[in-house]
Amino acid sequence: MEISATRPAGTPVSQELPAIIQQIGNTPLIRLESPNPDVEIFTKAEWLNPGGSVKDRAALSIIMEAISSGRLEGKELIDASSGNTAIAYAMICAALRIPLTICIPENASRERLQMLRAYGANLVLTDRMEGTDGAIEVATEMAMDPKYFYADQYNNDANWMAHYTTTASEILEQTRGRITHFISGLGTSGTFVGTSRRLREEIPDISTISFQPSSPFHGIEGLKHMETAIVPGIYDPSLADSHIMVNTNSAFETTRDLARNHGLFVGTSSGAAYFASKVVAESIEKGVIVTIFPDRGERYLSEPVWRGK
């Protein structure tokens, strides 16, 4: 049975929204090479979202829920981010003419900071040594000012609901229900939590597998080492049947391999996702694995993964 590699008909976005926002979601599945001939590996090509990452889905869900509830009316949106959600917010807020302030670590890649400024976002650069957790603390304090609406992506149910209603539905349609293993990394955990919840409802015996960096000091952008980080309120560890730790070198090597030998220029979290998928493929007899490639590689050109390479 063939599996769709084109954009499926997904949940429509309101026709009243700007055209660029209507392009969010319905990303294709791309088949990847598998170390096991009896295991198929596919990835959701989330870098094809208009903002360049999977975070377009969560950002849109958070903003639309805030608009519909009236909580954003007359206010400026503020949140903390390591980069991708910030860019997604910036794109959507620019299209909807909503003022935006982003708290982001000062060592975020030059490319991401330039993109945010291009979209017109106000940036508050936080201590690089405190990472995203430090940005969260600054955003939480600033959000006490009533002029702000605090989006709080790490604790906002609209984050994981975006994937429950769209990402999982697309995967079910594209694989025609044949998926046996779902693999996703942990950052805010929204992608893993929302997608896994819906997939489990439809396919009770599916294996849902999460992965994270193997060390608190790592270079895999967008992912959290949960044992040493502020754990997102939306994270539900009970959804993971198993868990894989990925070291930075493996993620970097796989990211470079994807670009040079597969023509897929993606970020380091995508490299980690493919690495984890191959680990699983080698450990099972047969199956259909679907993972997520969160973003494209251009926003990391100044990062260590490409430095001197």
For the annotated catalytic residues, the residue numbers are 55, 269
Q: Please give the Cα distance from 246 to 72 (Å, whole number).
A: 38
CA 10 to chain centre: 19
Spatial contact of 63 and 51, defined as CB atoms under 8 Å apart = no
The beta-carbon contacts of 105-110 under 8 Å, at least 24 apart in sequence, are 105/130, 105/131, 105/132, 105/134, 105/135, 108/82, 108/83, 109/83, 109/221, 109/299, 109/300, 109/301, 109/302, 109/303, 110/302
Spatial contact of 300 and 267, defined as CB atoms under 8 Å apart = yes
Spatial contact of 99 and 79, defined as CB atoms under 8 Å apart = no
Q: Please give the Cα distance from 97 to 121 (Å, whole number).
A: 11
Q: Are strands 122-126 and 148-150 parallel, antiparallel or unpaired?
A: unpaired
Spatial contact of 222 and 82, defined as CB atoms under 8 Å apart = yes
- Closest residue by Cα to residue 109 from 305, 308, 303: 303
Q: Please give the Cα distance from 43 to 29 (Å, whole number).
A: 5
